[in-house]
């Protein structure tokens, strides 16, 4: 997934989940930066997690594999509902993905157009290394 596609996807789910006003960034981390017990099967050795700063209304999604809609929705739900159990987040993730499957039918052709629309409309922009940063040039 390209940076533009990641930006578009995160922006879409910020809208759906109701996290407007939050600054959400993503950061790819080296796969070797997470240590797993030998008993964990190789296929289950991946990391996607979120660090949240409620005071600053910001969150960073760390990942050692490419992000997809399921990972983004899951982590954004942790931001929105910090007291929910993992099971509650998993159920709501599945529900939102099913409910929005038709709306979330992005194509490569329209990614750039939506990127321009979103950077004008919202307070975040795509940066290097999948970072989504505040839009400093947004006219209020």
Q: What is the mean pLDDT of each run of 10 residues along the chain (140 residues)?
A: 83 94 94 89 89 97 91 96 96 92 52 44 41 45
Q: Is residue 140 part of a domain?
A: no
Outline where 81-107 has alpha helix (H): 86-99
Instruction: Quote the pLDDT of residue 105.
Output: 56
Q: Is residue 139 part of a domain?
A: no
Instruction: Quote the pLDDT of residue 106.
Output: 45
Query: The domain that contains 90 carries what CATH number?
Result: 3.30.2010
Q: Is residue 56 part of a domain?
A: yes
Q: What is the pTM of this model?
A: 0.72
Q: Looking at the 3D structure of the chain, how many domains does it have?
A: 1
User: What is the gyration radius of the CA atoms in the chain, in angstroms?
Assistant: 15
Closest CA to 57 of 82, 26, 81, 22: 22
Cβ count within 10 A of residue 133: 15
Instruction: Quote the pLDDT of residue 59.
Output: 97
Domain limits for position 38: 3-134
Instruction: Quote the pLDDT of residue 47.
Output: 92
Instruction: Quote the pLDDT of residue 45.
Output: 86
């Amino acid at each position: 997934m390209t940076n533009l596609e990641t930006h578009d996807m995160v922006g879409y789910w910020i809208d759906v989940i109701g996290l407007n006003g939050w600054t959400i960034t993503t950061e790819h981390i080296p796969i070797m930066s997470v240590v797993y017990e030998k008993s964990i099967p190789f296929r289950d050795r991946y990391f996607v997690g979120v660090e949240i700063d409620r005071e600053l209304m910001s969150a960073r999604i760390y990942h050692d594999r490419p992000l997809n809609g399921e990972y983004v929705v899951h982590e954004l739900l942790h931001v929105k509902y910090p007291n929910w159990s993992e099971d509650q987040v998993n159920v709501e993730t599945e529900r939102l993905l099913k409910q929005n499957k038709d709306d979330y039918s992005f194509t490569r052709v329209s990614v750039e157009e939506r990127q321009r629309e979103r950077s004008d409309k919202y307070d975040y922009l795509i940066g290097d290394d999948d970072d989504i940063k505040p839009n400093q040039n947004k006219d209020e």
